[in-house]
């Protein structure tokens, strides 16, 4: 795609990045077929290609209408378009730049509402209190400790997850311990930055990200093999830390180290001998979070781990499509979010499963609120002789 972005914008790091990404798009339209919002509306403005044009216009002519703002707000940042694109367009990075660009045009009442939601979702005292009423799981098995250790990892506890579903990290610790992996936990008083970052609060996000990088890089240099995430929404953000800094930024090297060490729990387990593990249920339906299959580019990874412990997961219809959770999307775009959840649950329920599993706390809570079928993180189903 040809671009005519003014020199003063191209000479900024964000402007250069946006220009490079725009030029890699050949406007073939392949991405339209896998975009959830385009599938619902059939409107080009709700497609990846339409959004790319809007961002191009904003950069070239400073053209930003309320329609552009709405179109970018309605994008789930699911990155299904990236998985489909034959030209490797880094849409996720482009839409973040586009959102920052259009943000000043947002009406004041929307700014206030979004700030309030952001504050609520990132203030431990507030979300921990709310979690008391919406708690999803509690710990039901004793904690085991590794008898002999062959590796040592840092477990990202997450900010909201320990309050809403403490059994997820508990189960992960037990599985890792049973495989001889020593687990250290992060002191995580702050969000990974994902919420702020995707709500165009870049300054606040960057401060949280730098604090995390400072804390975690110290732990890495003290000798750990990997940083483990059990929430794919946090994992993708931490893996992307290195893309947020220029190579001459003092944080670049530390950010790259943290990103390179970070693995989803499924990715880490796949490197291990899992023969001592078994699973509590085999009538399972699995929802692959967008942040795992499109964001972290790990399609099929959980299915591979589950196959290694004896369960074959059949793909569901439209498994590449978002469930509508998408961070804070379900709060700001409830109509689209509910429609996507309804479609996803219809496909997940088609095989009459005993349980639905997923790999991200956001998807788990969102799907749970639309079905009577129990929804869990898949790690909670793994069992060893030591924690039955
Ligand atoms: S598939 Fe890729 S190259 Fe084609 S229009 Fe979509 S983003 Fe552009
Ligand atoms: S990120 Fe998802 S919703 Fe947004 S344009 Fe791409 S496919 Fe569509």
Output the pTM of the full model: 0.92
Give distance in angstroms: CA of 52 to centre of ligand 1: 9
Task: Tell me the backbone φ, ψ of residue 227, rounded to 5 degrees.
Answer: -100, 125
- Cα of 192 vs centre of ligand 1, distance in Å, is 29
Terminal-to-terminal C-alpha distance of the chain: 58
What secondary structure does DSSP assign to 246-260, as a single string? -TTSTTHHHHHHHHH
Report DSSP letters for 343-374, one per residue. HHHHHHHTT--SEEEES-HHHHHHHHTT-SS-
Ligand 1, CB within 6 Å, residue ranges: 25-31, 48-49, 81, 85, 87, 89
What are 214's two structure tokens? 């400072």
Cα angle 30, 198, 4; round to 5: 55
**129/121 Cα distance (integer angstroms):** 11
* Mean pLDDT calculated for residue range 331-337: 95
Contact present, 343 and 316 (Cβ < 8 Å)? no
- Please return the burial class of 266, using the count of CB atoms within 10 Å of its CB with bins 0-12, 13-18 and 19+: buried
**Cα–Cα distance, 299 to 296 (Å, whole number):** 8
Give per-residue pLDDT as tens, 233-273: 999 999 999 999 999 999 999 999 999 999 999 999 999 99
Q: Whose CA is nearest to atom 7 of ligand 2?
A: 35
pLDDT digits (tens, 9 = 90+) for 14-52: 999 999 999 999 999 999 999 999 999 999 999 999 999
To test the ligand 2 pocket, which listed residue (27, 81, 84, 99) has its Cβ within 8 A of the most ligand atoms?
81
CA distance 116 to 378: 33
**How do residues 77-94 score in pLDDT, each as one tens digit?**
999 999 999 999 999 999
Residue nearest to atom 4 of ligand 1 (CA): 28
Q: How far apart are CA 110 and CA 309, in angstroms?
A: 48
Report whether pLDDT(388) > 60. Answer: no
Tens digits of residue pLDDT in 339-371:
999 999 999 999 999 999 999 999 999 999 999
Closest ligand to residue 80's CA: 2
Distance CA 260, CA 62 (A): 37
């Amino acid at each position: 795609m040809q671009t005519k972005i003014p020199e003063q914008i191209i000479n900024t790091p964000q402007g250069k990045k946006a220009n490079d990404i725009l030029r890699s798009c050949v406007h073939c339209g392949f991405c339209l077929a896998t975009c959830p919002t385009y599938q619902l509306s059939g409107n080009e403005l709700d497609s990846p290609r339409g959004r790319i044009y809007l961002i191009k216009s904003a950069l070239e002519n400073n053209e930003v209408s309320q329609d552009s703002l709405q179109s970018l707000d309605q994008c789930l940042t699911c990155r299904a378009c990236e998985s489909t694109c034959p030209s490797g367009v880094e849409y996720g990075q482009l839409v973040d730049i586009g959102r920052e660009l259009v943000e000043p045009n947002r009406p004041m009442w929307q700014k206030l509402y979004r700030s309030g939601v952001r504050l609520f979702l990132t203030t431990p005292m507030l979300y921990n209190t709310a979690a008391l009423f919406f708690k999803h799981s509690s710990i039901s098995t004793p904690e085991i400790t590794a008898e002999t250790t062959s590796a040592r990892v840092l477990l990202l506890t997450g900010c909201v997850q320990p309050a809403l579903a403490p059994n997820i990290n508990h189960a992960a610790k037990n599985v890792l311990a049973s495989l001889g992996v020593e687990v250290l936990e992060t002191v995580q008083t702050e969000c990974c930055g994902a919420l702020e970052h995707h709500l165009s609060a870049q300054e606040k996000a960057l401060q949280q990200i730098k604090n995390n990088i400072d804390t975690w890089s110290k732990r890495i240099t003290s000798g750990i093999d990997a940083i483990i995430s059990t929430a794919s929404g946090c994992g993708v953000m931490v893996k992307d830390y290195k893309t947020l800094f220029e190579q001459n930024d003092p944080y670049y090297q530390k950010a790259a180290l943290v990103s390179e060490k970070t693995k989803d729990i499924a990715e880490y387990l796949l490197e291990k001998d899992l023969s001592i593990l078994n699973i509590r249920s085999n009538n399972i339906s699995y929802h692959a979070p967008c942040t795992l299959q499109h964001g972290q580019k790990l399609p099929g990874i959980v299915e591979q781990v589950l196959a290694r412990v004896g369960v074959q997961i059949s793909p569901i219809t439209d498994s590449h499509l978002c469930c509508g959770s998408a961070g804070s999307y379900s709060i700001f775009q409830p109509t689209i979010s509910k429609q996507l959840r309804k479609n996803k649950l219809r496909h997940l329920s088609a095989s009459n499963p005993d349980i639905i599993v997923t790999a991200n706390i956001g998807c788990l809570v969102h799907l749970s609120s639309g079905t009577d079928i129990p929804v869990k993180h898949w790690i909670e189903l793994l069992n060893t002789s030591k924690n039955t």
